[in-house]
A and B are shown apart, each in its own frame.
Chain A
Amino acid sequence: MTKKKETKKIVFESEKDVPTMPMSLGSMLFNKTGSWRNIRPEIKVENCIRCGICWKFCPDMSIEIENELPVIDYDYCKGCGICAAECPAKCIIMVEERK
């Protein structure tokens, strides 16, 4: 379900093109942190109460709400488990990553 973002790596040709502040360098498009994960969150959507708390708490913004339901972006989710700990409906469980 993850969105595929096709883009080129940003490498500035000259310092003149580099923004003064280190901003919007697009580096995270190529630094997918999902491989760091040891345990993965899985959502039992049928029990979800659509409160949005998992979306709000995810420190890596790896949960998006689609059609009012949370969807995990496994390209970036590091498996911290905060969403599972915070879910009031207990519909997110952490399972062993197998790969």
Chain B
Amino acid sequence: MKKVIMGNHALSYGAMLARSQVIAAYPITPQTQVVELLSEMCADGTLNAKFIKVESEHSAMAACLGASLAGARTFTATSAQGLALMHEMLHWASGGRMPVVMGNINRSMAPGWSIWSDQNDSLSQRDTGWMQYYCASNQEVVDTVIQAFKVSEALAIPSMVILDAFALSHTYEVVDIPDQAKVDSFLPSFKPPFRLTPDDPHAFGGLTGPENYFELRYKLQKDMEKAPALIEETGREYERIFGRYLGLVEEYRSDDAEIILITSGTAGYTARVAVDMMRQKGVKVGNLRIKTFRPFPFDHCRRILTKAAKVAVVDRNISYGHHGIFAQEVKSALYGTASKVPVFSFIAGLGGRDITPSSFQEVVNYTLRHDKPEDDILWIGVKR
């Protein structure tokens, strides 16, 4: 069934179709409609889930963790300051191996107070041990939530499904809502190997000395290493049922490209418009949209980027004192390969400033004119 829905409601539909059993959330712009619709679904019986109202995002995640430990499939959503407030609980989720799935709407961190999009909120949670999916369309949001549950529950690692504030969260698009019976066959109910139950009592997350802690973290990393292959395998299984594939990356006209633009989130689709415009002028440019930041698609980057003459990463985020965060990862992927392909680190669109096709044309024109970047950071659109 096709519907015209906003990105936030695409998250809600994903959580509904996955048959989430417990939802605990605190409202924050621009995430509010995600849980607003879910609370309506819980109230009118469309979704048979317990909706827990809480007094903060920290409590929202804490409630999700308790529910997840009890064996419930659990969903929440937040944004920016809310995600930052959850930070401690994010470590609990991954360290405790609880496969919560959360929507995060990319919103710039205050101050200055902002509700508009950039990625520093979610990327600040890089090392919490969560998988991170960056979406570029509302269809992708619905499909990603369903698949994220499957991958998370198989690996016992939580997932964050991320979309840009307003550019996706409040933008209406046509979405093919998957059939519930087919989703049920793709995603069976959550059955954790251990859970909180009086029938088999266990203490979870207790004091762990140096003699055992290290191995717990080793195992978390080893399971995270299984994620790239599992996400792709799950994507192919989903494609067989629903006809749409989502993997770790999405390429656009990159086969013969001399310059590859690297993007994430909705900027990825804006980049395609710019690619087509530049191609008409004879510039061999292509786009690689990185979908998963954790696990990072290192193998794909090596395979695709080493064929290019130049790589231009456009980051809607910054690591202060260094440069764009996706650019760091891309450079890290290329280290140790024979390739000497230069990586240009562009920063654009902080605080929700629009990234337009002409922003990408500026990026490509600069990259064409220079053999290597003149600076660690190349700023797009700063008034100087």
Contacts and interface: CB of A to CB of B under 8 A. Distances in A.
Do A and B assemble together?
Answer: yes
Interface of A: 9-12, 14-15, 18-25, 27-28, 31
Contacts of B218: 15
Contact of A27 (B194, B202, B206): B206
A63 to B, nearest CB: 17
B211 interface: yes
B215 A15 contact: yes
Nearest to A24: B202
8 contacts: A12-B211, A15-B219, A18-B212, A19-B194, A21-B156, A23-B203, A23-B204, A24-B203
B382 interface: no
Interface in B119-169: 156
A21 B194 contact: yes
A14 B95 CA distance: 19
Nearest to A17: B215
Interface string B192-229: 01100000001111111101110110110001000000
B219 A27 contact: no
A80 to B, nearest CB: 18
Interface residues of B, number: 22
B97 interface: yes
A9 B209 CA distance: 11
B297 interface: no
Contacts of A31: 207
Contact of B206 (A11, A12, A28): A28
B219 A18 contact: yes
Given A20-B97, A21-B97, A21-B156, A28 B203 contact: yes
B212 A25 contact: yes
B219 A22 contact: no
B295 interface: no
Contacts of A14: 215
A19 B204 CA distance: 11
A14 B207 CA distance: 19
Contact of B212 (A12, A21, A28): A12
Given A12-B215, A15-B218, A15-B219, A21 B208 contact: no
B96 interface: yes
Interface centre among A11, A18, A20 (most CB of B within 10 A): A20
Nearest to B193: A20
Given A15-B215, A31-B207, A22 B95 contact: yes
A9 B213 CA distance: 14
Top 10 closest pairs, chain A to chain B, by CB: A15-B215, A27-B207, A18-B215, A24-B202, A21-B97, A11-B211, A23-B202, A23-B204, A20-B97, A15-B218
B69 to A, nearest CB: 9
Interface centre among A15, A22, A24 (most CB of B within 10 A): A22
A22 B156 contact: no
B185 to A, nearest CB: 26
A55 B181 CA distance: 47
Contacts of B206: 22-25, 27-28
A27 B202 CA distance: 12
Interface in B221-256: 223
Nearest to A27: B207
A18 B216 contact: yes
Given A12-B211, A21-B96, 4 more contacts: A15-B218, A22-B205, A22-B206, A24-B202
A23 B96 CA distance: 9
Nearest to B97: A21
A47 B215 CA distance: 50
A22 B97 CA distance: 8
A15 B221 CA distance: 12
B370 to A, nearest CB: 48
A23 B156 CA distance: 14
Contacts of A23: 194, 202-206
B212 A20 contact: no
Contacts of B204: 21-23
Contact of B208 (A9, A15, A20, A25): A25
